[in-house]
Chains A and B, each alone.
Chain A
């Protein structure tokens, strides 16, 4: 069933269509939610809340652009709202305990699997994690991020830089460990 028909049937209140819509996008959307949260339980909460919004506002989807993109947008917004509401994620966005590290010219991430990379992103402090996701993955500009999170554009920019540096450091470290292990295993 194409998306148009799926949306129309869902709007009629057909539970089977709604379920089909959910099944088609749930896995991808849970991946997005997972990147923004610190646990799978939280990610599923966001997913559930996000899909509820999707079904509630499905009439607003005018078939302009991909349905997946529209749902993704809702998920990201829901995730950010969830982080704002949840005290576990309301830590100060600024931190000073992390120094800047040089970025290697290697392509370290190529040594990581998708889930491992996602885990590293999730290990970033909440503020960094959010900004990194919004900018590096979702493609928001720092101005937009500033508006979304209610912070200055400069703050977003600097924190993204720190998050990026931190992440690269961790990736390099992880890559080094992987290389060491692989050398060690050589006969």
Chain B
């Protein structure tokens, strides 16, 4: 059957004239929706601004850390080189060198013979210089170890604990004079042959002085991390203002019987991590032995060693986490989440280096970094059911595995920092909680954002000798659920 164009034309013309006056409620509802829209944009604006600030802050922090780390790395290389060279340096050279350097390596305190300006790592053959060495020798990986003690031709003991000394040198040897390296290249062939015998003698002699030596403590700086977990449910936007009476009862019933499927999403967070003695107090410098500096001097009758690092303060530093999660609701308000996160935490160690020849103490800082893989499990509760901006409280625990760290520990006996990852409790259990605001940016984009705290229930270190050290994280948590039902 062919269409009659005239028919369609007339229908079209007639229908153009069809007009009805809408009821007043249409505009009223529309006005409400428009106002809501405006309000809805505000949190988005705030969130965008916040994100921009976070990104800017992150880059700023990163820039600062990189600059700092750059200088530290340079120091490490320089320090390592000089320490290797120093053990072969003759007394005369030592003297010359030490006069040129004021804040050399921070290793052993041994103050050799009076005005003999020995450089670090040198100690006199007398017993008076060995207090710190002995205490360190008692410590697993710290300073003195028979295999790690060298003596030069003149009978001076040169200790070298690979981890310990390298770290110490690394951190505090920024001012090495390149010219010294050349001089130090003159090796003493007798050193090697005499080394073992002298070391044994030295240790035997030192034993008698052990009771005077302060207990060796390795103070470590650590940090912590974050976890994360999950999210929740929220209300769906309803544009239509159709009265309830119009709702299809069959649909209502279906809605009530809706299954709650697993939902998957991304989570992340950024903030500051620190090391706490307990939930409310950070590790104070005093915890690292406030008298260490004094003690080290009192142990030696002779003048102090060339350099000494006073116990540092540990300050919070940048931390972030990112991961995936799956969540399932028990009801309209409650559910649980499980996920897998990578968590980076860091703390800033600030130490004061006292150089015997330096005019004034020098402030140095170092960033301890910790990398964790975490398995967060948590339950969540939504306070305002079906609200457009749901408020969700979440609480749970994470099991974390320390997968890497470049953190340094403090040796109170030697006043040095050293690395030893074996001192860490690699498995960490943390408690975490957060309160988040859910935002439906659009039909396919739902996210939550809010403050989060996480506290390490397990001690960061295996040994309790250094007291309680628990990682603490405080920051902002983000959760993103694509295509949220």
Measuring CB to CB, which residues of chain A are less than 8 angstroms from any residue of chain B?
A: 13, 15, 18-19, 22, 26-28, 30-32, 34-35, 40-45, 47-49, 51-52, 55-56, 86-88, 100, 103, 107, 109-110, 114-115, 117-118, 121, 135-137, 139, 161, 164-165, 168
Contact = CB atoms under 8 A, between A and B. Distances in A.
A119 to B, nearest CB: 10
Residue of B10, B20, B21, B250 contacting most chain A CB atoms (<10 Å)? B20
B31 interface: yes
B3 A164 contact: yes
Contacts of B22: 26-27, 30, 44, 47
A46 to B, nearest CB: 9
Given A48-B240, A49-B240, A26 B246 contact: no
B23 A55 contact: no
Contacts of A107: 10
14 contacts: A19-B31, A26-B27, A27-B21, A27-B22, A28-B19, A34-B18, A43-B20, A44-B22, A45-B242, A52-B30, A88-B248, A100-B1, A114-B17, A136-B7
B244 interface: no
Given A26-B26, A41-B246, A100-B1, A52 B239 contact: yes
Interface residues of B, number: 35
A52 B12 CA distance: 26
Interface stretch (B32-40, B96-104, B228-236, B473-481): B32-40
Contacts of B14: 109, 114, 117
A118 to B, nearest CB: 5
Contact of B11 (A15, A47, A87, A117): A117
Contacts of B17: 114
A19 to B, nearest CB: 7
Given A31-B15, A31-B20, A34-B20, 18 more contacts: A15-B31, A19-B31, A22-B27, A26-B22, A27-B19, A31-B18, A49-B239, A51-B30, A52-B34, A52-B37, A55-B37, A103-B1, A114-B17, A135-B8, A136-B11, A137-B11, A164-B7, A165-B1
Residue of A19, A45, A86 contacting most chain B CB atoms (<10 Å)? A45
B294 interface: no
Contacts of B11: 109, 117, 136-137
Closest 9 CB pairs of A and B: A31-B18, A27-B19, A30-B20, A136-B8, A31-B19, A137-B15, A114-B17, A45-B240, A49-B239
A114 B18 contact: yes
Given A35-B18, A139-B12, A18 B26 contact: no
Contacts of A109: 7, 10-11, 14
B242 A41 contact: yes
A27 B22 CA distance: 6
B444 to A, nearest CB: 16
A13 B41 CA distance: 12
A55 B34 contact: yes
Nearest to A160: B3
B239 A118 contact: no
B44 to A, nearest CB: 14
A115 B4 CA distance: 22
A22 B12 contact: no
Contacts of B34: 15, 18, 52, 55
B251 interface: yes
B240 A27 contact: no
Given A27-B21, A164-B7, A47 B33 contact: no
B258 interface: no
Nearest to B34: A55
B251 A87 contact: yes
A11 to B, nearest CB: 12
B115 interface: no
Nearest to B27: A22
Residue of B8, B15, B248 contacting most chain A CB atoms (<10 Å)? B15
A161 B1 contact: yes
Contacts of A139: 12
Contacts of A42: 242
Contacts of B30: 22, 48, 51-52
Contacts of B37: 52, 55-56
A15 B38 CA distance: 11
Interface in B386-434: none
B32 to A, nearest CB: 10
Contacts of A41: 242, 246
B29 interface: yes
Residue of B1, B3, B22 contacting most chain A CB atoms (<10 Å)? B22
Given A44-B23, A56-B37, A117 B15 contact: yes
A110 B38 CA distance: 48
Contact of A103 (B4, B29, B248): B4
B179 interface: no
Nearest to B254: A87
B26 A44 contact: yes
Contact of A137 (B12, B240, B241, B242): B12
A168 B7 contact: yes
Contacts of B240: 45, 48-49
Nearest to B239: A49
A30 B17 CA distance: 11
Residue of A44, A121, A139 contacting most chain B CB atoms (<10 Å)? A44
Contacts of A13: 38
B5 to A, nearest CB: 10
